[in-house]
Amino acid sequence: PMAADETLIVAAIECDEAWPPSCGTRKFRIRRGDFPPSSHSSSSSCTGRELRAAIARLVLRSIGAEGDDDTGGVTVEAHDGRRGGEFVSLLRDDVKDEDAAARFGKRIRCIVSDLPPSLVGFGGDEGRGGGATGELPAIAGRFFPYDPDGIDYAGGKLVVKEIENNRSNGTGLNVWDGALLLARYLEKHPDRVCSKRVLELGSGCGLVGIAAGLLGAEEIVLTDLPYAIGLMKDNVDRNAPALERAGCKRAECLVYDWYKPQTMRYFGFETKPVVGTKLFSAEADVVLVADCVWVEELVAPLLQVFENIISHSSSQLSVIISYQRRGKLAHEAFWNGVHSIFRTVVQVDLEHLGLAQTNIHYLLLCKV
């Protein structure tokens, strides 16, 4: 009999709803263990019905979907040489109970569509900057409203521009849902940042850091890789008058590479007394991180940055993290890492706050 990890079929799959069209097809190896437990096929073959279920499950798992055994509405069509090369549904009457390998071969081309609407627009770990395809995440749709000409915020306007992503730039030039979510949370809880020194990691366009400044943060330091600094500074300049009116004394954009951690001194915060002690510190009071967890290989460097910052900070430091789950491996590595580093981690109930709640958005309040 065939082992569970041996390959039955290799499928080249196109699914515009799960990853960017520019990524083209992605290769999946269909193994015996990929078939649903209810499968009654023999060990060396599968029917069209069983192959559809296996492919649907693999695509859903590739984007970190919960409940990936529920594939009922997903459509899978295979390239059929018998019908002049057209793509036919694996649930066609003349296909669903036929031996799929005998009908289509051991290497097949498929189109997958009709994913659950709540999942359209978030992709998996592969192909996201250093994965199998090297492509960038796509924004197929947002859960939170965004207007490049300005969003209503804290009684005024927050104006942050973005640059549509392509193969030549990085993910830091887009406004992501995690940033919008964190900004809206802070708007409801301005005390988290008001009159405080705020450091943002992976600022990208700068939306979250600027939002903190508009809520009265005393200092905001926005950081990212060199390619993002130009747009970030432009966005800070767009909001400069409003930042000044809000009492923000300093808004600075700095290059910060997670693979080269710096001490708090690097960020240049003003020296202030530590509340409840006779000590003074020149460190951030709050660290903000929005939607920086989208590929597993970046989790370890970010966790190392957290550890480095904690080692140079007082026990009063708070870290607020928002992110959108895009892949199982990255999510689990980050989730476990955060809980091992911080003394307390509280997941915010977004629905209770009147913010849109989905099963892929998280907002965490962390204390050292």
Report the first-to-last Cα separation within the chain, whole angstroms. Answer: 53
DSSP codes, 282-322: -S-SEEEEES--SSGGGHHHHHHHHHHHHHTS-TT-EEEEE
Average pLDDT over residues 131-155: 67
Beta bridge partners of 362: 323
Beta bridge partners of 224: 255
Structure tokens at 289: 């991180």
Amino acid 116 reads: P
Q: What is the pLDDT of residue 360?
A: 74
In the chain, how long is the greatest CA-to-CA distance? 82
CA atoms of 302 and 291, how far apart (whole Å): 12
Average pLDDT over residues 55-61: 85
Q: What is the pLDDT of residue 357?
A: 56
Q: Which pTM value belongs to this model?
A: 0.65
- CA angle in degrees (0–180, nearest 5) for 361-355-285: 75
For 151-367, the fitting CATH number among 3.40.50.720, 3.40.50.300, 3.40.50.150, 3.90.1300.10 is 3.40.50.150
Q: Which of 48-52, 77-81, 234-238, 278-282 has the highest mean pLDDT?
A: 234-238
Measured in residues, the chain has a length of 368
Higher per-residue pLDDT: 70 or 287: 287
Q: Are 72 and 52 in contact (CB under 8 A)?
A: no
Structure tokens at 42: 């023999």
From residue 191, how far is each of 156, 188, 208, 251, 365 by CA, in Å?
Answer: 18, 9, 15, 19, 14
Q: What is the pLDDT of residue 186?
A: 97
Tokens 């082992």 belong to which residue?
A: 3
Residue 322 has pLDDT above 80, yes or no: yes
Q: What is the DSSP letter of 192?
A: G
Residue 198 has pLDDT above 90, yes or no: yes
Structure tokens at 203: 């600022």
From the CB of residue 167, how many other CB atoms can be counted at a distance below 10 Å?
Answer: 9
Q: What is the pLDDT of residue 169?
A: 54
Strands 219-224 and 197-201, bridge-based pairing: parallel
As to burial, measured by CB atoms within 10 angstroms (0-12 exposed, 13-18 middle, 19+ buried), residue 79 is middle
CA atoms of 128 and 130, how far apart (whole Å): 6
Q: Give the rounded percent of residues in the chain with a pLDDT score beyond 70.
A: 79
- CA angle in degrees (0–180, nearest 5) for 103-109-113: 110
Where residue 183 falls among pLDDT bands split at 50, 70, 90?
A: very high
- Axis-axis angle for helices 207-214, 226-238 (nearest 10): 30
**Which residues make Cβ contacts (< 8 Å) with residue 6, sequence separation at least 6?**
31, 32
What sections of the chain are H helices per DSSP?
48-62, 100-104, 177-188, 207-214, 226-238, 240-245, 299-311, 328-341
Structure tokens at 297: 């290989």
Domains of the chain by residue range = 1-92+99-116, 151-367
367 backbone dihedrals φ, ψ, rounded to 5°: -125, 145
226 backbone dihedrals φ, ψ, rounded to 5°: -55, -35
Q: What is the pLDDT of residue 231?
A: 95
Average pLDDT over residues 162-183: 77
Average pLDDT over residues 108-135: 56
Where residue 1 falls among pLDDT bands split at 50, 70, 90?
A: very low
